[in-house]
Amino acid sequence: MTTSVPAGPVAIPVPAPPVAAPPVAAAPAPEVPTGKGGGNPRRGTALPRSLVMLLGAGAAVLVLAGLRSVAWLIGPAFLALIVVIAIYPVQTWLRRKGWPGWLTTLVLVLLVVGVLVVLGLVIVVSLAKLAALIPQYADSASSLQASLQSSLKSFGVDPKQLQDAVSKVNPAKVVALIGTVLAGLSTALSGLVFLLCLMLFLSVEAGGIERRLAAVQADRPELATALRSFAKGTRSYLLVTTVFGLIVGVLDGGALWIIGVPLPVLWGVLSFLTNYIPNVGFIIGLIPPALLALLTSGVTEMLVVIGVYCVLNFVIQSLIQPRFVGDSVGLAMTTTFVALIFFAWLLGPLGALLAIPLTLLIKALLVDVDPTAGWVNALAGSLAPEPRTPRAPRRDRPERSSAPVAATPPA
């Protein structure tokens, strides 16, 4: 049985277009509770800037007071560290030559001890000679006082006022003051044993300093770089200062020997030591020989000594040397002067000698480790030399062309 299929078009179902979903409203942001003034309470919990500055200043005062109370320990310890840093390249050079570690350490210690012992013997012997000459200098001071009184009286000065002014000056006290100042050097030598012990331990530990810095660099690379920069700057400063100190000491000692001032070797050594005191070192080294020249030979010799020191020491120490020191350590002259006053107050005379290395250490720990503290170097550091501008060609001369000139063929 067959089924008939009706003729005509067949309807094909078409799928309906998708219906767009209604937009979902965004969830409202959570409201942040505000304080009384309508601000963020998190900001309100931060301390005011003025209070932070006051707390920081108070903490700095406490730290400085603590450092000043233990200056007897910090000064010699840092001096031993500086000496070991200065002569560490000798130990490194010996190890490169194949010397064993214990022998390089022994050579390092003997070198340091030898230099300090020779310097101490020169100072002690000179002080012993000065102590033997002090009594006759006191008599010379009395006669000088009488002649000065008569000279001022000839200029019309009232004898009573002059007597009142001169009576306050005791010549014996002036001479004793010189002995007290120089005796301070011998007192400093009494701590030589403690200093030598520190240098012995630091010299033994110096052999592993590179491994220690490598371990520090793995965790804090900026700190390791800053410490290496501190050691390099300290060696450069000590080298420059030592060279200029030897020049000044030899020139001063020779000049005093020619003038006839007693103990020229002692005053030459004093000029060498005071050369490590920036800016005002030559004034400290000038006072004892000038007073001694006044007591032994008179006003003329004292003025000659002052003139010689001003010409030699002022030109070398105050004009020439600061330029080399500033280039080697990157510190401005004003910064070195302020550091001198601060560390002399903090650590005493030893702080004046170590003012520049201490400043370099603080700069390494607080400035060089912080990449955002470059503005401190811009304000307190030495200025780089300005680039030279190229000279303009003179108008009366024709400018040479840079194009190659073709060679003319021979006739």
Those residues whose C-beta lies under 8 Å from the C-beta of residue 66, and which sit 6 or more positions away, are: none
> The tokens 């067949």 sit on which residue?
10
Which residue segment(s) compose the domain that 138 sits in?
70-380
| pLDDT per position as a tens digit, 311-349 | 887 778 767 777 776 666 777 778 888 888 999 899 888
The pLDDT assigned to 152 comes to: 62
Q: What is the mean pLDDT of residues 38-61?
A: 74
- For 29, 37, 39, 52, 66, the CA distances from 43, given in Å and listed in that order, are 20, 12, 8, 15, 35
Taking phi first (over 0 means left), then psi (-120 to 50 degrees means alpha), and beta for anything else, what does residue 374 get? alpha
Residue 400 to residue 397: CA distance in whole angstroms: 9
* Burial class of residue 119 in the structure, from the number of CB atoms within 10 Å of its CB (0-12 exposed, 13-18 middle, 19+ buried): middle
- For 6, 62, 184, the CA distances from 74, given in Å and listed in that order, are 116, 16, 18
Task: Quote the tokens at residue 367.
Answer: 């400035």
Could you tell me if residue 273 is inside a domain? yes
Could you tell me if residue 343 is inside a domain? yes
The pLDDT assigned to 187 comes to: 54
> The tokens 């024709």 sit on which residue?
398
The pLDDT assigned to 114 comes to: 78
Could you tell me if residue 110 is inside a domain? yes
Question: How many residues are recorded in the chain?
Answer: 411
Contact 296, 280 (CB under 8 A): no
The pLDDT assigned to 397 comes to: 54
Task: Quote the tokens at residue 102.
Answer: 């214990």
Q: What is the mean pLDDT of residues 256-269?
A: 87
| pLDDT per position as a tens digit, 155-202 | 666 656 656 655 555 555 555 555 555 555 555 555 666 676 777 777
| pLDDT per position as a tens digit, 357-388 | 999 898 888 888 877 777 777 776 665 555 55
The pLDDT assigned to 37 comes to: 47
The pLDDT assigned to 95 comes to: 84
Please say if the pLDDT value at position 145 is more than 50: yes
Write down the mean pLDDT value for the chain.
Answer: 74
Could you tell me if residue 371 is inside a domain? yes
Q: What is the mean pLDDT of residues 34-44?
A: 49
- For 17, 31, 117, 401, the CA distances from 80, given in Å and listed in that order, are 90, 63, 15, 64
Q: Which comes out higher in pLDDT, residue 240 or 40?
A: 240
| Confidence label for 139 from pLDDT (cuts 50, 70 and 90) | low
Residue 411 to residue 73: CA distance in whole angstroms: 91
Number of separate helices (H) and strands (E) present in the chain: 17, 0
The pLDDT assigned to 402 comes to: 47
Is the Cα dihedral 36, 38, 44, 45 positive or negative? positive
Residue 28 to residue 40: CA distance in whole angstroms: 19
Could you tell me if residue 315 is inside a domain? yes
In the chain, pLDDT over 90 holds for what percent of residues? 3
In the chain, pLDDT over 70 holds for what percent of residues? 63
Those residues whose C-beta lies under 8 Å from the C-beta of residue 220, and which sit 6 or more positions away, are: 369
| pLDDT per position as a tens digit, 124-136 | 777 777 777 767 6
The pLDDT assigned to 137 comes to: 67
| Confidence label for 287 from pLDDT (cuts 50, 70 and 90) | confident
Contact 92, 107 (CB under 8 A): no
Q: What is the mean pLDDT of residues 7-29?
A: 52
How many domains in the chain? 1
Contact 111, 91 (CB under 8 A): no
| pLDDT per position as a tens digit, 302-311 | 899 999 888 8
Count CB atoms within 10 A of the CB of residue 113. Answer: 14
> The tokens 């010379």 sit on which residue?
140
| pLDDT per position as a tens digit, 75-131 | 888 888 888 888 888 888 888 888 887 788 788 778 777 777 777 777 677 777 777
Classify 367 as helix, strand or coil.
helix
Residue 141 to residue 177: CA distance in whole angstroms: 13
Please say if the pLDDT value at position 45 is more than 70: no
Count CB atoms within 10 A of the CB of residue 199. Answer: 24
| Confidence label for 1 from pLDDT (cuts 50, 70 and 90) | very low
Residue 308 to residue 290: CA distance in whole angstroms: 10
> The tokens 């932070």 sit on which residue?
52
The pLDDT assigned to 173 comes to: 58
Across 173-194, b (16+ Cβ under 10 Å) vs e yields ebbeebeeebeebeebbeeeee
Count CB atoms within 10 A of the CB of residue 405. Answer: 6
Those residues whose C-beta lies under 8 Å from the C-beta of residue 76, and which sit 6 or more positions away, are: 191, 194, 195, 198, 350
> The tokens 């793995």 sit on which residue?
218
The pLDDT assigned to 157 comes to: 61
Number of Cα atoms under 13 Å in the Cβ half of residue 178: 26
Contact 333, 326 (CB under 8 A): yes
- Per mean pLDDT, which range of 28-42, 44-58, 290-304 is the poorest? 28-42
Could you tell me if residue 177 is inside a domain? yes
Could you tell me if residue 407 is inside a domain? no
Could you tell me if residue 181 is inside a domain? yes
* DSSP tag of 278: T
Q: Which of 43-47, 177-181, 276-280, 382-386 has the highest mean pLDDT?
A: 276-280
